[in-house]
Every structure is written in structure tokens, then in C-alpha cells.
A = this chain, B = another copy of it.
Amino acid sequence: MSVTDHRRVVAAKRDRRTLTPAEVEGFVEGYTRGDVSDALAASFLMACVLNGLDAAETLAMTRAMIASGKTLSFDDLGRPTVDKHSTGGVADGVTLVFAPLAAALGLAVAKLSGRGLGHTGGTLDKLESIPGLRTDLTPDELAAQVAEVGCAVGAQSPDLVPADGALYALRDATATVPSIPLIASSVMSKKLAVGTDLILLDVKAGSGAFMKTPEDAERLAVACLDLATGWGRGARVAVTDMAQPLGDAVGNALDVAEAVEVLSGRFRGRLRDLVVAFAAAALEETGGVGRDDATARAEAALDDGTALERFQVMVRAQGGDPRVADDPWAVLPRAPVVRPLLATANGVIHAMDAEAIGLASGALGAGRLRKGDPIDPAVGIVVRAKIGDGIEAGEPMGEVHARGVDMADEAAARVNAAITLGEADVAPPRLVHGWFG
């Protein structure tokens, strides 16, 4: 296609005409090849944000993104392969626990992760707080580890869906991120490029998520599911609560320590419940196991140490210090200052601004603002208080791990400011708003 043709595609989307798959694919290919300028692509993206893309257009865009790079497939491993992805939230350490738990349940998990951009690190950043652990696995290493251990968490290769990386950076720079079809296409292209039997997707809704309402999250869930269906792939999508931090730990090493707590069966709460729900869904979907039985098996694998054992084997396979599974703080980096997080008022927690809590942790050094920036693995916040809890001024709600006392106090103040107190009792928000697929 010529530049004139590409411009016609933009004009058509501007004028609310439905694009043919060839038009969408030609445009994305043109951008990947450099025939379409950033400026023309940006005007196209804004037209997509405002005029939308229908299911066929979104599938065509996803297809073009996948076609921009390599794809990954696995030889028959003798057991179902599962991928799990979250659209991102605060204290969302599900993947760290899910991968070894699913492996313990007889599934194979090949998880390719990105680095976090925003308040806290991503799964890769969290894992890399374990001394020695490497995530730059080659495709062969990844496949071999999945075959041997049952799970591996590696860095997403730049060869996989390169158009997504380029388009996402452009969207970020041009205020064209908020579009359900564009987000669905970005998320799912990376999942569909990896040949697993089942894709589990966790779409977060609430103050700590990109989708602020369950309704918007549901629209994204359906769009993602449509793409999986259109691609002929099995998928289940949950819309889950992010009206407050999911776990207690908001950092990197802190999240690993918390994951070990969950994997050893000691941690009870919403994080464990959600991991169990995803593991049970995976068993149901791939093994025809009934929901109650699947849930019981997942809980048992946490309580009997088999999930923790898989975690230890996975850490060792990736070069990390395996003692992290027995005694996390014997190996994880610790912040020099650890201060109790004290409540500053009395009342019942009615709401939490999870994003603000994430940003408070980011301000301690736990996150990055720009790609490539370093993160501080040791710092972060632990907030044990949850919506519905009663608190009293001076009562400890968790801890702040910081480089200095002033930073710790500042973070504690930000967390308190992010908590809305009331007098009446309130019920905790539902953990899972709904399942799709």
C-alpha cells in the first residue's frame, strides 16, 4: 500500500467507515515497516479511540500485530499449557504464586512478562529481587524449563509482537491509550503469539486499575475473549476487584516474601483466594474437574507444600537463591528503614485509593517512570488493613520499608490520605465480579 492508501485508511476510520481486514493489516504492517509515519499512525489511533473498532477490525489489528514478529509454540508436554495474565493492579502478586501452584497441579505454565511501568515493578522486577535469578531465558531455555519444572517466568522477547511495543509507546506519547479495542488487541496479541492450550486473563476493576468500573472491565473482558475465540484459542476471563490493594505487599522483594507466605499456606486472604480461583478455573477448563474439587485441590497444593516446592525448583532453575522459599528474608534485600504504618484516625475503612497507595510505594523507589529506569527492590509498603476493617488512630496497619525516615513518614501520610473512613460497617467488595468464557 502507498502512503496515499494509508492516509485513505485513516480518513475512512475518521469518517466512521468500517475498515476491511486488509486495510487494518496493511496499515499496521506499513507502520511496522516504517512506511507509515508516527504522525499518521497517531491520527489513526486517535480516530480508533474516538470512533472505535468493531470485533472484526480488532481481530485484524491483533492478527497484524502477531504477524509483525515471531511466535512461540511448545512441543507436546503431556500436560496442558496455561498462560495467565493480569491487566495490572496494586499488590497484584498472583502470577508469582499461580505459576508454581498450577505446576504443582499438573499443568504447565510458560509465562512471559513485561517490566512494570508505573507505581511498582512488574512480575519480572519482583522475581529479580531474588539474588541470582535471571529472567532473560531464550525460547529453548523457557521450553526446556517448562517441560522439566512445569513452570517458567521469563522476559518477553522483543521478537514477539514488536508492533505492539512500538504502537504502545506511540499511544503512551499521544494520549491514545484509553480504547477498549486497542487495549484488548495489545494484551491478546502477546498471549496469542504464545501457543498455550488455555489463556487465563484477570481484568482488574477499581481505583487501582486502569478500568475504574466493573462495567468497563467487563467490556474489555468480552473484547479479549472475542479475540481468543476469533483466533480459535481457549480462554477464560475474570473481572476482579481492584478497589483496594489485592495483597498486603506493595513493592518488589516484599511481594516475593508475601508470595512465599501464600505458597506455604500461611497467608489467608483475598490474594490466596484469587490465586486459588484461577488455579481452579485452569483445572476445570483443561481437565474437566468440577469447580469444588478443583478448588479443594488448589488449596491442598498450597497447604501441603507442593506448590512451594515447585516455586523453589523454578527459582533454582532460573539461577536464583532457592533459600528464598524457606526463609525469604535470609536472601531478599531489606530496606534500611522499616517503620510501622500507623493509622491517624478512627473509623471503618469505606474506600481505599489503591492507585495512590501504589504511587506512594513508587515514590519510595519501588516503581519506574521511564522504561529502563532502575527500581529499588527493597522498598515498599505493607498495608494489612482492608475495606470493612475498623481502625484506631495509632494502631499499626502495616509497615513502610524505605531508604530514609522522612521518606517513610511521607509514604505513611500518603497511605492514610488514600484511606476513606466512615462510621457505618461496610462489607468488603466482591473479589470476583464475574467470569467470561
Contacts and interface: CB of A to CB of B under 8 A. Distances in A.
Nearest to A38: B39
A173 B7 contact: yes
Given A38-B39, A39-B39, A39-B170, A14 B47 contact: no
B176 A43 contact: yes
A10 B175 contact: yes
State the main secondary structure of chain A at its contact with B: helix
A346 interface: no
B43 A7 contact: no
B43 A10 contact: no
B175 A37 contact: no
Nearest to A51: B50
Contacts of A41: 39
A52 to B, nearest CB: 11
A8 B39 CA distance: 18
A192 interface: no
A345 interface: no
B11 A175 contact: yes
Contacts of A201: none
A37 to B, nearest CB: 7
Interface string A32-56: 0000011111111111011100000
Interface of A: 7-8, 10-11, 14, 37-47, 49-51, 170, 173-176, 178
6 contacts: A7-B175, A14-B49, A37-B173, A39-B41, A39-B174, A40-B42
